[in-house]
Copies of this chain bind each other. A is one copy, B any other.
Amino acid sequence: MSENKIPYKIYLSEDEMPMAWYNLRADMQNKPAPLLNPGTGQPMTAQELEGVFCTELVRQELDNDTAYFQIPAEIRDFYKMYRPSPLVRAYCLEQKLGTPAKIYYKFEGNNTSGSHKLNSAIAQAYYAKLQGLQGVTTETGAGQWGTALSMACGYLGLDCRVFMVKCSYEQKPFRREVMRVYGSSVTPSPSESTQVGRKILSQFPGTTGSLGCAISEAVETAVANPGYRYVLGSVLNQVLLHQSIIGLEAKTALDKYGVKPDIIIGCAGGGSNLGGLIAPFMGQKLRGEADYRIIAVEPESCPSFTRGKYAYDFCDTGMVCPLAKMYTLGSSFMPAADHAGGLRFHGMSSVLSQLYADGYMEARAVKQTDVFEAAEEFARVEGILPAPESSHAIRAAIDEAVKCREAGEAKTILFGLTGTGYFDLVAYERFHNGEMKNFSPSDEDIAKSLAQLPAVPNALA
């Protein structure tokens, strides 16, 4: 098919939706480092992990060799509510920029949870249900993951207990209400319902909570209740596996029109979207079948790739979870309060960290106001109000397209538009009113939190 015939939106048919998730680890020569037990310093065993996570999900987490995992029919049926998601040719943005570049974006915001998080939420909820569990627990900060998990559990009739960081619970009542529409119980964290919550409340009576504390409460609740397990929306290998559907669909759609991207761009917080989008392309690159420039875009205020250290660290600020080897700013690192949206995790997926360490991808950090400027420019011509997270990728895509204009090069750019910004309008308002600031942590601040990295056996570090 000629390139002239490419529509604004490429919708695959349901039959073209991938039958299996792709496990990028299978094609990695240097496998991601294993999770370590913080007590023993030894790799976490399946048995240890199964106290917290569902059995099948533990299998997926630990399997570095199987390239494809069949997507169960029930999950495929759920996916059909909103998948295949559209791959959009950004004709209007290209025209606005006056660039010869061809820009495509894979839009994952076309479901009520408003983001790609639903791809893994339904998978994790499904395996919990299959195992005969009664429910799952999780934490949520900004609320994207909690909403996605609520939708998945509402659909399957699974109990869902969300610990929502208290300040977010109070400031984002709408996020909370969407979760309640789907039948979840939403508890502001720290709460009186867990030991760790009561302890923190007694130590810091006026605290508005933190993600680290909410994780601890969710894990404690899962472990304390026999029919429950804990689930997580990013960072983990299993999450990247489920999210591979983003990249698989994008690649199928591009292949259909004979298009090969030169540059692939994704925003990066814990890595769920970026890892999913790039999966099949990175697979080709690892196997030497094709080459792509792959760019991770992170906030200047939380620059784990660009200014972090590749080392073993805790996944949570509460230091109760296993250790993961990753690019990290230190588990006590807190992004500036003025930072809007997600992408505020101190570390990064172990898979992506290893690939970055091995030189398979680039990373860049961008300023918050530059991100919102790109978001608004995009919204006006492409008609989608992007989430602040997604807008990091938009920023980099626009920058690359402008470079193409200056160099007169017609490169093909693919980026991930992970979600919508309906619940982020307070941040947009601050941007409009000129109240939004940029923040770059000082070298001293980063050094201070990195000084607290845990000690691990030399052989593993």
Contacts and interface: CB of A to CB of B under 8 A. Distances in A.
Task: Pick from A80, A112, A183, A383 the residue with the most CB of B within 10 Å.
Answer: A383
Contact of A429 (B151, B177, B379): B177
A376 B181 contact: yes
Nearest to A380: B154
Interface residues of A, number: 42
Interface stretch (A4-12, A285-293, A295-303, A346-354): A4-12
Contact of A428 (B111, B181, B383, B425): B181
A75 interface: no
B111 A383 contact: yes
Give the interface SS of chain A, mostly helix, strand, loop or mixed.
helix
A155 B378 CA distance: 10
Interface string A169-199: 0000110011011110000000000000000
Interface string A140-164: 0000000000010011000000000
Contact of A8 (B81, B112, B382, B385): B81
A412 interface: no
Nearest to A429: B177
A118 to B, nearest CB: 8
A115 interface: no
A420 interface: yes
B380 A428 contact: no
A2 to B, nearest CB: 15
A182 B379 contact: yes
Contacts of A155: 92, 380-381, 383
Given A81-B8, A112-B384, A112-B385, A379 B425 contact: no
A13 interface: yes
Contacts of A181: 376, 379-380, 385, 428, 432
Pick the 3 closest A-B CB pairs, nearest first.
A8-B80, A174-B425, A81-B383
